[in-house]
Chain A
Amino acid sequence: MTQTSYAELIGVCAGALLLTSVLTVWYRSQRASVRALGAQGVALAALVAVVAIDRAEAELIPVIALVLVLKGLVLPWVLTRRRTPAAGARAGADHGEETMLLNPVAILVAAALLAVVAYAVTWPLVADSLSPAAHAAPVGVAMVLIGFLVLLTRRRAISQLVGFLALDNGIATVAFLISGGVPLLLEFGASLDILLVTLILVVFSRQMRTVFGDTDVDRMRELHD
Chain B
Amino acid sequence: MTAVSWAMLLQFAFAGLAAALALLPAERIRSVLSGAASAVMSAVGVVTGVLAMNGVTGGLQFAVAVPAVPLTFAPDRLGGLFIVLASVIGLLVAVYGAASVRGASASRTAWFALPLFLMGMQLVPAAADAVSFLLVWEAMALGSTVLLLAEHAGSSRVSSAAVWYAVMSQLSFLFILAGFGVLSAAAGGTDFSALSAVAPASPPALLAFVLLVLGFGSKAGLVPLHVWLPRAHPEAPSHVSAAMSAAMVKMGIYGILLVVVRFFPGGPDWWGIVLLVLGGGSAVYGILQASVSSDLKVLLAYSTTENVGLIVLAIGASVLLTAHGITAAAGAAMLAALLLVVSHAVFKVTLFLAAGSVLHATGERNLDHLGGLGRRMPWTAAAFGIAALGAAALPISSGFVSEWVLLQSLVHGTRVGGAAVSVIVSIAMPIVVAVVALTAGLAVLTFVKAYGIGFLARPRSAAAAGAHESSRVVRAVLIAGAAGVVLLGLVPGPLATALVSVLPASGTPIVESAGLLGVNLPGLGAVLDPLVLVILTAVLASFVIIATLRSAWRNPQRIDAFAWGGGGERAQPRMQYTATSFAEPVVRVFDDVLQPARDVEVTHAGESRYLVNRVRFSQSVTDIVESRLYRPVLTVIDRFGVVVRRIQNGSIHLYLLYSFAAVIVVLVVATL
Contact = CB atoms under 8 A, between A and B. Distances in A.
Interface of A: 101, 117, 120-121, 124, 141, 144-145, 148-149, 151-152, 160, 217-218, 220-223
Contact of B651 (A144, A148, A221): A221
A171 to B, nearest CB: 12
Given A121-B667, A124-B671, A152 B650 contact: no
A152 B657 contact: yes
Given A117-B668, A120-B671, A152-B657, A221 B663 contact: no
Contact of B660 (A120, A148, A220, A223): A148
A160 B656 CA distance: 11
Given A152-B656, A222-B650, 20 more contacts: A117-B664, A120-B668, A120-B671, A121-B671, A141-B667, A144-B663, A145-B660, A145-B663, A145-B664, A148-B656, A148-B660, A148-B663, A152-B653, A152-B657, A218-B652, A220-B650, A221-B649, A221-B651, A223-B648, A223-B649
A73 B633 CA distance: 57
Candidate in A101, A121, A141, A217 with the most chain B CB atoms within 10 angstroms: A121
Contacts of B535: none
Nearest to B670: A121
Contact of A220 (B652, B657, B659, B664): B652
A83 B660 CA distance: 33
Tell which of B648, B649, B657, B667 has the most Cβ of chain A within 10 Å.
B667
Nearest to A160: B652
20 contacts: A101-B653, A117-B667, A117-B668, A120-B668, A121-B670, A121-B671, A145-B660, A145-B664, A148-B660, A148-B663, A151-B660, A152-B656, A160-B652, A217-B652, A217-B653, A221-B649, A221-B651, A223-B648, A223-B649, A223-B650
B666 to A, nearest CB: 9
A160 B664 CA distance: 19
A105 B651 CA distance: 24
Contacts of B670: 121
A222 B648 CA distance: 11
A221 B663 CA distance: 24
Contacts of B648: 223
B164 to A, nearest CB: 15
Contacts of B650: 220-223
Nearest to B657: A152
Q: Could you say which interface size class chain B belongs to?
A: 10 to 19
Contacts of B657: 152
A223 B641 CA distance: 13
A53 B649 CA distance: 50
Secondary structure class of chain A's binding surface, majority of residues: helix
Nearest to A117: B664
Contacts of A141: 667
A220 B652 CA distance: 8
Nearest to B666: A121
Nearest to B660: A148
A127 B656 CA distance: 31
Closest 4 CB pairs of A and B: A221-B650, A121-B667, A121-B671, A223-B650
Interface in B258-308: none
A84 to B, nearest CB: 28
A137 to B, nearest CB: 13
B23 to A, nearest CB: 26
Nearest to A151: B656
A152 B649 contact: no
A125 to B, nearest CB: 8
Contacts of B671: 120-121, 124
Given A148-B660, A152-B660, A218 B667 contact: no
A217 B656 CA distance: 12
Nearest to B659: A148
Contacts of A101: 653
B656 A121 contact: no
B651 A121 contact: no
Contacts of A117: 664, 667-668
Contacts of A222: 650
Interface in B104-155: none
A121 B664 CA distance: 9
Nearest to A224: B650
A223 B653 CA distance: 14
A218 B653 contact: yes
A120 B652 CA distance: 29
Given A145-B663, A148-B660, A152-B660, A121 B668 contact: yes
B664 to A, nearest CB: 6
B162 to A, nearest CB: 12
Nearest to A153: B653
A146 to B, nearest CB: 11
Most interface-central of B653, B659, B671 (chain A CB within 10 A):
B653
Contacts of A220: 650, 652
A101 B659 CA distance: 17
A100 to B, nearest CB: 11
A109 to B, nearest CB: 16
A83 to B, nearest CB: 23
Contacts of B664: 117, 145
Contacts of A145: 660, 663-664
Nearest to A114: B664
Nearest to A223: B650
A113 to B, nearest CB: 10
Nearest to A154: B653
A120 B660 CA distance: 17
A140 B321 CA distance: 70
A102 to B, nearest CB: 11
A61 to B, nearest CB: 33
A114 to B, nearest CB: 8
A218 B651 CA distance: 6
Contacts of A217: 652-653
A218 B650 CA distance: 9
Nearest to B649: A221
A88 B649 CA distance: 34
Contacts of A218: 651-653
A151 B653 CA distance: 8
Interface string B635-672: 00000000000001111110011011001100110110
A148 B659 CA distance: 9
A160 B652 CA distance: 11
A148 B663 CA distance: 10
A145 to B, nearest CB: 7
B533 to A, nearest CB: 58
